[in-house]
A and B are shown apart, each in its own frame.
Chain A
Amino acid sequence: MAEQMMHDGAAPLMIAEGLGKTYGRLVACRDISFNLYSGEVLAIVGESGSGKSTLLQMLSAQLTPSAGRVSYRMRDGVTRDLASLGEAERRFLFRTDWGYVHQDPAMGLRMAVSAGANVGERLMAVGWNHYGRIRDTATSWLERVEIDTSRIDDAPRTYSGGMRQRLQIARNLVTEPRLVFMDEPTGGLDVSVQARLLDLMRSLVSELGLAAIVVTHDLAVARLLSHRIMVMKGGQVIEAGLTDQVLDDPHEGYTQLLVSSVLPG
Chain B
Amino acid sequence: MTAPVYNFAYLDEQTKRMIRRAILKAIAIPGYQVPFASREMPMPYGWGTGGVQVTAAILGPTDTLKVIDQGSDDTTNAISIRKFFAKTAGVSTTTSTADATVIQTRHRIPEAALSEGQVLVYQVPIPEPLRFLEPRETETRRMHALSEYGLMHVKLYEDIARFGHIATSYAYPVKVNGRYVMDPSPTPKFDNPKMDNCAALQLFGAGREKRIYAIPPYTTVVSLDFEDHPFARYRHEAPCALCGADDSYLDEIVTDDRGGRMFVCSDTDYCETRQASGHRGSERAAPHKKDHAHG
Which residues of chain A have a CB within 8 Å of any CB of chain B?
A: 87-88, 91, 110, 113-114, 116-117, 120-122, 124-126, 129-132, 134-135, 152-153
Contact = CB atoms under 8 A, between A and B. Distances in A.
Given A120-B154, A131-B160, A134-B157, A125 B148 contact: yes
A124 B154 contact: yes
A130 B158 contact: no
B226 A129 contact: yes
A116 B133 CA distance: 15
A152 B133 CA distance: 18
Contact of A88 (B146, B153, B227): B146
Contact of B161 (A91, A114, A122, A125): A114
Contacts of B161: 114, 116-117, 135, 152-153
A172 to B, nearest CB: 15
Interface string B146-171: 10101101100110111000000000
Contact of A120 (B157, B228, B229): B157
B228 A124 contact: no
Nearest to B134: A110
Interface residues of B, dominant DSSP? helix
A121 B150 contact: yes
A40 to B, nearest CB: 30
Contact of B158 (A91, A117, A122): A117
A153 to B, nearest CB: 5
Contacts of B154: 110, 113, 117, 120-121, 124
A113 B133 CA distance: 8
Please name the 9 residue pairs, one residue from A and one from B, whose CB atoms are nearest each other, closest first: A125-B150, A124-B153, A124-B150, A131-B226, A88-B146, A130-B227, A117-B157, A117-B154, A153-B161
Interface residues on B, range: 10 to 19
A113 B151 CA distance: 11
Interface string B104-147: 00000000000000000000000000000100000000100010
A171 to B, nearest CB: 12
27 contacts: A87-B142, A88-B146, A91-B146, A91-B148, A110-B133, A114-B157, A116-B157, A117-B158, A117-B161, A120-B154, A120-B157, A121-B150, A121-B154, A122-B150, A124-B154, A125-B148, A125-B150, A125-B151, A129-B226, A129-B227, A130-B226, A130-B227, A131-B157, A131-B229, A135-B157, A135-B161, A153-B161
Nearest to B225: A129
Given A124-B157, A153-B161, 16 more contacts: A87-B142, A91-B146, A114-B157, A116-B157, A117-B154, A120-B157, A121-B151, A124-B150, A124-B151, A125-B151, A126-B150, A129-B226, A130-B227, A131-B226, A131-B227, A152-B161
Contacts of B160: 131
A106 to B, nearest CB: 14
Contacts of A121: 150-151, 154
A260 to B, nearest CB: 45
Nearest to B152: A124
A113 B158 contact: yes
A88 B149 CA distance: 13
A129 B227 CA distance: 6
Nearest to B224: A129
Nearest to A130: B227
Contacts of A87: 142, 146
Contacts of B142: 87
Contacts of B133: 110, 113
